[in-house]
Chains A and B, each alone.
Chain A
Amino acid sequence: AQTVTQSQPEMSVQEAETVTLSCTYDTSESNYYLFWYKQPPSRQMILVIRQEAYKQQNATENRFSVNFQKAAKSFSLKISDSQLGDTAMYFCAFMKHVLEDSNYQLIWGAGTKLIIKP
């Protein structure tokens, strides 16, 4: 069974600093998807970034980028020039490739609480 581990329950950094959140996963699959979702205090879950395992290039969305290390089964999220609005819970999630398995389920990590200090 697949598992997703986020080893940092909580982190805090100063505004404008760069922060990296860790995520590791366990799978025997070769083709899959990885996600980072953000949950601000307002509670609504928002997709930050998405990576397809077959793509070598790391995904990037503005200040958010990932370091995808397939062999190490690692999928860390880097936030550059952090802002107060980045304060949130961040969840890493995994899903097997749709074509290989009709079981449409995401496996979620426990989350990392990120606090950006002014």
Chain B
Amino acid sequence: NAGVTQTPKFQVLKTGQSMTLQCAQDMNHEYMSWYRQDPGMGLRLIHYSVGAGITDQGEVPNGYNVSRSTTEDFPLRLLSAAPSQTSVYFCASSYAGPHQPQHFGDGTRLSIL
């Protein structure tokens, strides 16, 4: 069982570059989400999706885009990377919403120089 797969695990970008963090799940979960984790802080929700074709903003959406064309995939796009986006990013999924147990990926450590 693959669960939630995130790629890449590590990435270094220069300010202004764009990139896409990939997230895929094979559990047929409707709910998927992206969080960022910064030192000394709890996870903060960036964007989430309750099903294919439906996305919504979380607590810290600025500078990020998402799309959900299939149930399995939920990529996160950084439009123009900034040093403030240096963080660890986690993708998570659950059957119907975060009120149910969420399955997390291993995270992507992203550094913006």
Contact = CB atoms under 8 A, between A and B. Distances in A.
Interface of A: 4, 33, 42-47, 50, 91, 93, 95, 97-98, 104-111
A91 B98 CA distance: 14
Given A91-B43, A104-B50, 14 more contacts: A4-B42, A33-B99, A44-B105, A45-B43, A97-B99, A98-B97, A104-B31, A104-B56, A105-B59, A105-B98, A106-B102, A107-B42, A108-B42, A110-B41
B92 A45 contact: yes
Interface string B83-104: 0000010101000011101101
Contacts of B88: 43
B99 A110 contact: no
Interface of B: 31, 33, 40-45, 48, 50, 56, 58-59, 88, 90, 92, 97-99, 101-102, 104-107
Given A33-B99, A44-B107, A45-B92, A108 B58 contact: no
A63 B36 CA distance: 30
A45 B104 contact: yes
Interface SS of B by simple majority: loop
A44 B106 contact: yes
Contact of A105 (B58, B90, B107): B58
Given A44-B104, A45-B90, A108 B43 contact: yes
Contacts of B92: 45
B99 A98 contact: yes
Contacts of B42: 4, 91, 93, 107-111
